[in-house]
Amino acid sequence: MSREALFDWCRTRFGDRFGTGLSVREHHGRDESGHFPPALPDAVISPETAAEIAELLPRCAAAGCPVIPFGAGTSVEGQVLAVAGGISLDLSRMDRILDVAPDDMIAEVQAGVTREALNAHLRDTGLFFPVDPGANATLGGMASTRASGTTTIRYGTMRDAVMSVQAVLPDGSVVNTGTRARKSAAGYDLTHLLVGSEGTLGVITALTLRLQPRPEVSRSYQVSFADIGSAVQTVIEALQCGAQPTRIELMDAAQMQACLAQSDVGLPAVPSLLIEVTGTPGQVTDQIALLSQAANDNGAVAETRCDTPEQAAAIWRMRHGAALASRASQPGCETLSTDLCVPISKLARAIDESRAWIDAAGLQAHICGHVGDGNFHAMFLCDPDLPEQMEKAMEIHARMVALALQLGGTCSGEHGIGLGKKRYLGDEHADTLPAMRAVKAALDPSGIMNPGKIFDI
């Protein structure tokens, strides 16, 4: 089938849900990554059912036409960019919440439902969906990139939250990879092969998600430290003693300064832990005691507790606005965000060495991280009129990745590989790349699914 014949079929089959206009293609040719040039698809289709996608994919395979699943466009490694053209498959019309089963603490949703829409829907059930990457991404997109965020230390990543997916494979088969049972030992775990595969193996069309009970009590506070090492050591000791914070976030002085400029929370611009502890009253009291003990043992300078839910919300709004605050601190800047994740015992070293390289190069970068997971982001802010800044930032990023791998870590904790981390996947997984390629060839023999992402074929 020629590309022209394919597009004729699409026009007939999808009517005005098939678009080739420049503005719709431009909207689908970029994401929230800071420095990739836009790469426009040739067309955009907005399917409404898995069956429609099942009709489409074998035709795209026959025509050799790329298919790029598109959720909310909030990916940050260029995952949705149509670097080889083809069709952007916009799943935002597949936004139905199919079922909520409170007794089983399960929700079934279509892939285009956003996490905020799901949580709004769950408001009266006493349950919520815990994975929180900051952006109001679609749940299909979050599964595709194996997203996580501030609550991972307590509730895990999308790997833990997704019980099953419905997906359309390139041969047009519609598969359900799991059941509604909380665990299963029945055959290969295709659910978790698809979670994190960034649309390169098939299109996730629906998900069965594990929900969590809304906690009875919640307390948030900030702790100031003289340096990063003391903050990290506090977290190590608290976790070893059985502390289970719901969020425990690290921000360096530069990141705090940028955030405070956009917020009125009135905290000092010093290395900080932002902590949220939730649960039953006794549990929360005990957790705070464990964390405070560890903080005192590691020379914490001061502690600011939130006395009201509003104060707590302000702190977490400030944290979630970190990337925007960094950008606002240098209007018009180009950005590059790193996503290293290392064993927590190596986290202080990884951050301190990174900071030293950044400062020695005279660059601006803000550092924040999900310290309990050993995951941190350095957001480089580069002047677009001084292209050597971005070059230097990329060179330092390469050094940071090499260090993380040497320390037993990974080049991507939660953003995925996309385009941005491709050059590093071979360093991290040279041994498993042939097996990844074999799996890709087995499930997508025509290579139509999101080509150019994760690895080259």
Give the nearer residue to a second copy in terms of CB position, either 42 or 104. Answer: 104
Q: Which of 40, 190, 365, 449 binds a second copy (CB under 8 A)?
A: 190
Give the nearer residue to a second copy in terms of CB position, either 175 or 328. Answer: 175
Distance of alpha carbon 440 from alpha carbon 269, whole angstroms: 47
- Contact region for a second copy (CB under 8 A) — 82-90, 102-110, 269-277, 385-393? 102-110
Give the nearer residue to a second copy in terms of CB position, either 168 or 336. Answer: 168
Q: Checking DSSP bridges between strand 43-45 and strand 87-90, what pairing results, if any?
A: parallel
Give the nearer residue to a second copy in terms of CB position, either 46 or 410. Answer: 410
With H, G, I as helix, E, B as strand and everything else as coil, classify residue 157.
coil
Based on the shown chain and the rule CB under 8 A, indicate whether residue 127 belongs to the binding site for a second copy: yes
Backbone φ and ψ of 273, nearest 5°: -105, 130
Task: Dump the DSSP string for 229-261.
Answer: HHHHHHHHHHHHTT---SEEEEE-HHHHHHHHT
Nearest distance from C-beta of residue 229 to a second copy, angstroms: 13
CA 370 to chain centre: 12
Are 13 and 55 spatial neighbours (Cβ–Cβ below 8 Å)?
yes
Are 375 and 339 spatial neighbours (Cβ–Cβ below 8 Å)?
yes
- Contact region for a second copy (CB under 8 A) — 31-39, 181-189, 265-273, 314-322? 181-189
Nearest to 371 by CA among 243, 211, 267, 198: 243
Positive or negative CA dihedral for 88, 89, 95, 101? negative
Distance of alpha carbon 173 from alpha carbon 54, whole angstroms: 6
Give the nearer residue to a second copy in terms of CB position, either 60 or 340. Answer: 340
Nearest distance from C-beta of residue 361 to a second copy, angstroms: 26
Q: What's the Rg (C-alpha) of the chain?
A: 22
The count of C-alpha atoms lying within 13 angstroms of the C-alpha of 138, restricted to the half-sphere facing its C-beta, is 26
Tally Cβ neighbours within 10 Å of residue 313: 12
- Contact region for a second copy (CB under 8 A) — 46-54, 84-92, 392-400, 428-436? 428-436
Backbone φ and ψ of 267, nearest 5°: -110, 160
Beta-carbon contacts of residue 102 (< 8 Å; ≥ 6 apart): 125, 126, 127
Based on the shown chain and the rule CB under 8 A, indicate whether residue 296 belongs to the binding site for a second copy: no
Q: Which of 25, 115, 192, 319 binds a second copy (CB under 8 A)?
A: 192
Beta-carbon contacts of residue 369 (< 8 Å; ≥ 6 apart): 249, 250, 251, 347, 351, 375, 376, 377
Give the angle 178-181-183 at the CA atoms, nearest 5°. Answer: 80
Based on the shown chain and the rule CB under 8 A, indicate whether residue 375 belongs to the binding site for a second copy: yes
Q: Could you report how far apart the first and last alpha carbons of the chain are, in Å?
A: 22
Give the nearer residue to a second copy in terms of CB position, either 127 or 312. Answer: 127
Based on the shown chain and the rule CB under 8 A, indicate whether residue 271 belongs to the binding site for a second copy: no
Are 26 and 40 spatial neighbours (Cβ–Cβ below 8 Å)?
yes
Nearest distance from C-beta of residue 328 to a second copy, angstroms: 27
User: Which 320-359 positions form the footprint of a second copy (CB under 8 A)?
Assistant: 339, 341-345
Give the nearer residue to a second copy in terms of CB position, either 2 or 173. Answer: 173
Distance of alpha carbon 247 from alpha carbon 256, whole angstroms: 17
Q: Binding marks (x or -) toward a second copy, 397..426, rule CB under 8 A?
A: --------x--xxxxxxxxxx---x--xx-
Give the nearer residue to a second copy in terms of CB position, either 221 or 424. Answer: 424
Based on the shown chain and the rule CB under 8 A, indicate whether residue 438 belongs to the binding site for a second copy: yes
User: Which 6-65 positions form the footprint of a second copy (CB under 8 A)?
Assistant: none
Nearest to 414 by CA among 452, 373, 451, 354: 373
Based on the shown chain and the rule CB under 8 A, indicate whether residue 197 belongs to the binding site for a second copy: yes
The count of C-alpha atoms lying within 13 angstroms of the C-alpha of 377, restricted to the half-sphere facing its C-beta, is 22
User: Which 212-251 positions form the footprint of a second copy (CB under 8 A)?
Assistant: 213-216, 236, 239-242
Q: Which of 116, 189, 297, 395 binds a second copy (CB under 8 A)?
A: 189
Based on the shown chain and the rule CB under 8 A, indicate whether residue 123 belongs to the binding site for a second copy: no
Based on the shown chain and the rule CB under 8 A, indicate whether residue 282 belongs to the binding site for a second copy: yes
Based on the shown chain and the rule CB under 8 A, indicate whether residue 274 belongs to the binding site for a second copy: no
Distance of alpha carbon 454 from alpha carbon 447, whole angstroms: 13
Quote the crossing angle between the two packed helices 228-240 and 281-297, to the nearest 10°.
140
Based on the shown chain and the rule CB under 8 A, indicate whether residue 257 belongs to the binding site for a second copy: no
Based on the shown chain and the rule CB under 8 A, indicate whether residue 98 belongs to the binding site for a second copy: no
Residues that bind a second copy (rule: CB under 8 A) add up to a total of 100
Q: Which of 102, 134, 172, 321 binds a second copy (CB under 8 A)?
A: 102
Nearest distance from C-beta of residue 190 to a second copy, angstroms: 5
Based on the shown chain and the rule CB under 8 A, indicate whether residue 148 belongs to the binding site for a second copy: yes
- Contact region for a second copy (CB under 8 A) — 4-12, 249-257, 366-374, 387-395? 366-374
Give the nearer residue to a second copy in terms of CB position, either 364 or 412. Answer: 412
Q: Which of 58, 112, 196, 369 binds a second copy (CB under 8 A)?
A: 196
Based on the shown chain and the rule CB under 8 A, indicate whether residue 185 belongs to the binding site for a second copy: yes
